[in-house]
Amino acid sequence: MMKTIFKKYDKHAISALPRVIFEGEIKVIDHPEDVETAVDFLLAQDILGVDTETRPSFKRGVSYEVCLLQVSTEDVCFLFRLNCVGMHPAIIRFLTDKKVPKVGLSWHDDLNQLHKKAEFEPGNFIEIQDMAKDLGLIDMSLQKIYANLFHQKISKSQRLSNWEVSELKESQKIYAATDAWACIQLYKEFNKLNETHDYVLIEPKIVEPQAESQVESQAESHAEFHVESQAEPQVELVSQSKASS
């Protein structure tokens, strides 16, 4: 069955979609002694989804370092609290590993933030946005791409929450895990579509500049007619115009 994909997805349609969340096991790594074992497990997998979180700043001139690295398999996600464990040698080993493919979205930005904490040579990372562009999509956000391909909504309600709190809330854990896990699902779906070509790409609706000009010209002529023929309604027209603006 052909899948319908929109080149540009209507953001207003997302709110009506059913919500999708990661339903696997979530493990919070906030003690240095637990990092090595977690990384060993992850580097034994075939594919991983990755993402990071940073505490938001609401004051000009104030910024924070990346404090969470989430790494997910199909059924388990590890949340490395970098503000607790730091850039552990095992985390550097994970980031520089060239064997296991790690899929992220806008991962270049994440790497820039991680590089502020430690120097390392990035390993085998795959950018979802590149795959989306290759398919012809315009929208590059995780939420829009996922909604476009799976007709499900990824909630972004926790994006601006405090990721440096002493203990992460359950909603934060699910949010972080879902973003990393979703990258795996998108990677697999893009590969499938590229192999089967079982999709149709719908172009966005574009209003031609000439058509817009004609509409504006007609509207101006219509307004001028009323201004010239009726003096009293002219006041009402101006009043309505101010109210609508």
10-residue averages of pLDDT along the chain (245 residues): 92 93 98 98 99 90 92 99 98 98 96 96 98 96 97 89 94 97 98 96 67 48 44 39 37
pLDDT value, residue 231: 43
The pTM assigned to this predicted structure is 0.81
pLDDT value, residue 208: 52
Lookup result for tokens 């060239």: 98
Cα–Cα distance for residue pair 128/106, rounded to 1 Å: 7
pLDDT value, residue 233: 43
Domains of the chain in start order, with CATH, are: 7-202 (3.30.420.10), 209-244 (no CATH)
Instruction: Provide the token pair at 95.
Output: 């980031």
**Identity of residue 109:** D
Cα angle 196, 200, 201; round to 5: 120
Lookup result for tokens 């499900």: 152
Element (H, E) at 145: helix 142-150
> Tell me: the pLDDT tens digits for 98-137?
999 999 999 999 999 999 999 999 999 999 999 999 999 9
Antiparallel, parallel or unpaired: β 66-72 and 48-54: antiparallel
